[in-house]
Amino acid sequence: MGRITLKQAARWCDGYVDEKYADVTFLGACNDTRELQPGQLFVALQGMRDGNDFVPAAMASGAAAALCTRRMGDYPAIYVSDTRLALGDIARGERQRLGMKVVGITGSVGKSTTKEMVAQVLGGTYRTEKTPVNHNNDIGMPMAILAMPEDTQVAVLEMGMNHFREMAYLSSIARPDVALILNIGTMHIENLGTMEGIRQAKFEIVEGMGPAGELVLNGDDTMLRNLPDMLRQKITYFGKDSGCAVRCLDARQEEEALCFRVETRDTSFPVEIHLEGLHFIPDAMAAVSVGLLLGVPPQTISDQLKKFRNLSGRQEILQVGGYTIIKDCYNAGPESMAAALQVLGTKHGRRIAVLGDMLELGTSAQAEHYRIGRLAVESTDMVLAYGPNAPRVRSGCITGGMPDSRCRAFQDKDELLSVLRRFARPGDVILFKGSHGMHMETVLEAFLADKK
């Protein structure tokens, strides 16, 4: 059963709908006829192909209506000049109509894991919804809002960007009540120029917030301290630093669980979370801080985080055919690559790092790949690097003292796979890591094809 009428949606996006279809309703939206669910609004986006051409197929697949720029037949439709902007307008209207509290999450590294943790913490107290995987941009986030149930109390929205003003646009739709900035790293420096530029772009998240909105910031990140006085929002800092309102103490790795103690002015309680690597501490502390800010009891926070399991593909540890596989293929930047290598270094057995390029680093790319090569020497027995910057990784390994035969650079995945198969043996620990665009999961899948 639909929820939004075409008349209402057209009002929100300043579109036109034929009167005979004004009361047709839809629930959710989709821009891909292969993934379309009956009753959704089909969004005819303009990309490599003209989305209008797919309207008949979408209607035949059960779409309730189309959002398009021209008539493709006598179908229920909203006609607009720009379907992307209209989708945002409709999502903005629905967000305001639902009236739920919104937590917006951004940062250079760890957004998705933190989003999952925040939703886990809040889910024990509120009817909580979150953005699905890969729905953190100007198309995915609006579609996520339009799919949220009527009784949603809190929406946890991951918000990504790689250019100036993209975050401001997302914030104008989401209108966050709480905005969490996890860190400022080097991801997207190619487009944003400097670390200060990245910080400026991330802080566009406040533009859709009201003066009563609250910022939650990582107090251990120097780029998030000493901020301009122009910020109207109250700031809550979390971290190990003594000046943080929500402090992390006694952090330690115990076998497959991270353990630490949370301390605030009013309370102190333990947290245990099923993850490996101290680099997950800021993510967990962010979730704790948002939970406390929204009134979740400390015991509930502890209980919820103890049940947390990370998303597939994000430092997922698998045991297959005698191999220990660290699957971390979703994305990569210098910070997350260093963290993954650190985790690999804690494992017993021969340690192999299969590393794809880190993208969007601009003029820093060669230096950062060389640095990762130097770091890899400390935690690996073999490095197989793939991509245009693989020779720089190899150069860093050799400079760091790794034998030439144990560090290889590849431009061909089949060649990489052939070498990996020859060298690897049961008992090895193998890390697969790279930027999403390098698709290192294809190497992993091919390697495991005959191991299961």
Residue 87's CB: how many other CB atoms inside 10 A? 27
Q: For the domain 99-306, what is the CATH code?
A: 3.40.1190.10
The DSSP letter of residue 256 is T
pLDDT at 106: 97
Residue 296: is it exposed, middle or buried by C-beta count within 10 angstroms (0-12/13-18/19+)? buried
Distance, CA of 140 to CA of 90 (rounded, Å): 13
- Where does the chain hold its CATH 3.40.1390.10 domain(s)? 4-83
Q: Which fold, 316-448? A: Protein-Tyrosine Phosphatase; Chain A (3.90.190)
Pick the CATH number of 4-83 from 3.40.1390.10, 1.20.950.20, 3.40.50.12160, 3.40.720.10: 3.40.1390.10
For helices 166-174 and 195-202, the axis angle rounded to 10 degrees is 20
Phi/psi of residue 202, each to 5°?
Answer: -65, -40
Closest CA to 77 of 128, 6, 129: 6
DSSP letters along 159-181, please?
A: ---SSTTHHHHHHHHH--SEEEE
Q: Measure the CA–CA gap between 267 and 264, rounded to whole angstroms.
A: 5
Question: pLDDT tens-digit profile of 288-345?
Answer: 999 999 999 999 999 999 999 887 667 788 899 899 999 998 888 898 899 899 989 9
Nearest by Cα to 283 from 318, 316, 308? 308
DSSP letters of 281-341? HHHHHHHHHHHHHTT--HHHHHHHHHT--PPTTSSEEEEETTEEEEEE-S---HHHHHHHH
Q: Which residues are CB-neighbours of 76 under 8 A, at least 6 positions away?
A: 6, 17, 18, 21, 24, 64, 65, 66
Q: Which residue has the tokens 């398009």?
A: 68
* Total length of the chain: 452
Where the chain has pLDDT below 50, the residues are none
Neighbouring C-alpha atoms within 13 Å toward the C-beta of 431: 34
Q: Where in the chain is the domain with CATH 3.40.1190.10?
A: 99-306
Residue 188: predicted pLDDT:
64
CB 79 within 8 A of CB 16: yes
Residue 78 confidence (pLDDT)? 98
Residue the block writes with tokens 């821009």:
31
The identity of residue 196, as a single letter, is E
65 φ/ψ sector (left φ>0, alpha ψ -120 to 50, else beta):
beta
